Amino acid sequence: MNMRIGWIGVGRMGYAMAERLAKAGGDITVWNRTRAKAEPLAASGAKVAAYVTDLAACDVVFVMVSAWKDVASVITGPSGLLSGATAAKPRLIVECSSISVDGSAQLRAALDERGIALLAAPVSGNAKVIKAGRLSFVCSGPRAAFDAALPLLRMIAPAASYVGEGELARIVKICHNVFLGVVTQSLAEITILAQKAGVPRHAFLSFINDSVMGSTFSRYKTPAFVNLDFKVTFTPHLLRKDMDLGLEAGRRFEVPMPLASLTRDAVQTMIGFGLADQDFAQLLVVVAKASGLALVPENVPVGDGLS
Ligand SMILES: NC(=O)c1ccc[n+]([C@@H]2O[C@H](COP(=O)([O-])OP(=O)(O)OC[C@H]3O[C@@H](n4cnc5c(N)ncnc54)[C@H](OP(=O)(O)O)[C@@H]3O)[C@@H](O)[C@H]2O)c1
């Protein structure tokens, strides 16, 4: 527990995760490409590094950026973590971004050559879920790497599953996000259908949430669907990346995924409508437009099941 922890990437997810580690007393130094986003973490006890190479002397480095090309750039790129003049290097990298199996395997090979262990550790949950203490990790790689990281993972999230060697956690996370996309599109379609037939969205979702089909997810998206509170949690841009990773995996393993294909194009439509960096729950708005329905907030107090 005396480990020096480095943290790369404090976007929506990375910030909330690093904040939990800092508040739990972890000795953490953060670096973010846009430094201003990292600075408020100093109030929670984190140190802010000027250069990513400053983190090479840490024992463990967590990474939470966007896509595989970004992971490669911040770790093994020409100005990345391992590009410094000194021989300092972490013992373990815990890579949490949602990336492809192939990208993860390339990273593992590059780190193996340098004697650095890799734990693939993508997550389920958004920033609000992290703050509510409900995030979950799915991990793969050497069992010893998981055991070493577990005390730190537990400072961030109550749940961390180990699914085996290599890149298995990546495929689990890709499956999870295909499900997220398909469920969100389906929830948008049925909510608009119920509304056009005369049922207010809050009444419809209250029933769904209390039914056997309700879930943590349907509950925490209810304020967005009812009151059009579309604070950005996760973007169509990132969801399209995950749907594409799912469809690529479907081709590789020869699994037909018709629902995933349709949903991928629904997400693409959102992007074409200029909503790439909005919240993905605006899939509701796209379905409403396609149905000739002008959405207005219902202004009904509804819980999100988290707070
Ligand atoms: N949001 C969710 O609900 C959610 C849930 C589970 C998993 N995820 C996954 O978690 C990851 C992060 O998502 P997010 O929502 O936190 O994204 P985000 O808010 O867009 O943050 C992205 C972070 O990555 C950094 N970054 C991106 N490209 C970089 C590069 N080339 N070099 C250096 N830094 C770079 C950004 O730095 P700047 O600040 O300088 O731009 C920022 O810190 C993604 O892989 C996403 O798919 C997201």
Q: What is the pLDDT of residues 260-277, one digit of tens each?
A: 999 999 999 999 999 999
pLDDT more than 70, % of the chain: 100
At position 114, the amino acid (one-letter code) is: R
Contact 250, 174 (CB under 8 A): no
At residue 1 the predicted structure's pLDDT band, cuts being 50, 70 and 90, is low
> 9: CA distance to ligand 1 center in Å?
7
- Residue 135 and residue 87: Cα distance in Å, rounded? 35
Give the Cα separation of 120 and 168 in Å (integer).
8
Q: State the pLDDT confidence band at 171, using cuts at 50, 70 and 90.
A: very high
In this prediction, residue 86 has a pLDDT band, given cuts at 50, 70 and 90, of: confident
Cβ(11) to ligand 1 under 6 A?
yes
- pLDDT tens-digit map of 13-31: 999 999 999 999 999 999 9
Q: CB burial class (10 A; 0-12, 13-18, 19+) of residue 268?
A: middle
Nearest one of 135, 64, 96, 121 to 306, comparing CA atoms: 135
Check: CB of residue 59 under 8 Å from CB of residue 4: yes
What are the backbone dihedrals phi and psi of residue 299, each rounded to the nearest 5 degrees, phi first?
50, 50
Q: What share of the chain is helix, strand, coil (3-state, %, to 5)?
A: 55, 10, 35
Distance from Cα 122 to the centre of ligand 1, integer Å: 12
By the 8 A CB rule, do 130 and 16 touch?
A: yes
Give the model's confidence band at 211: pLDDT under 50 very low, under 70 low, under 90 confident, else very high: very high
**Residue in 232, 85, 65 with CA at minimum distance from that of residue 75:** 65
Tell me if 12 CB under 6 Å of ligand 1.
Answer: yes
Distance 64 CA to ligand 1 centre (A): 6
Question: What percent of the chain clears pLDDT 90, i.e. is strictly above it?
Answer: 98
Angle of CA points 62, 128, 46, to nearest 5°: 40
Ligand 1 near 98 CB (within 6 A): yes
Q: Which amino acid is at 275?
A: L
Q: Is the CB of 244 under 6 A from ligand 1?
A: no
Cα 135 to averaged position of ligand 1 atoms, centre (Å): 16
Ligand 1 neighbourhood includes 32 CB (under 6 angstroms) = yes
Whether 4 has a pLDDT exceeding 80, the answer reads yes
Expressed in angstroms and rounded, the spacing between residue 213 Cα and the centre of ligand 1 is: 30
Is 305 touching ligand 1 by the criterion CB < 6 Å? Answer: no
Q: What's the whole-number mean pLDDT along residues 211-232?
A: 97
- Rounded to two decimals, the pTM is 0.95
Residue 293 Cα to ligand 1 midpoint, Å, equals 33
Protein residue with its CA nearest to atom 37 in ligand 1: 33
- Token look-up 């007393």 returns 25
Report whether residue 14 contacts ligand 1, using a CB cutoff of 6 Å. yes
pLDDT band at 87 (very low <50, low <70, confident <90, very high): confident
User: Atom 32, ligand 1: which residue's CA is nearest?
Assistant: 70
DSSP states along 271-285: HHTT-TTS-GGGHHH
Determine if ligand 1 sits within 6 Å of the CB of residue 66: yes
Rounded CA gap, 7 and 231, in Å?
Answer: 25
Question: Does the C-beta of 246 come closer than 6 Å to ligand 1?
Answer: no
What rounded mean pLDDT belongs to the chain? 97
| DSSP conformation class of 253 | T
Dihedral, 288, 289, 291, 294 alpha carbons, nearest 10: 70
Largest CA distance in the chain: 67
DSSP SS3 for 297: coil
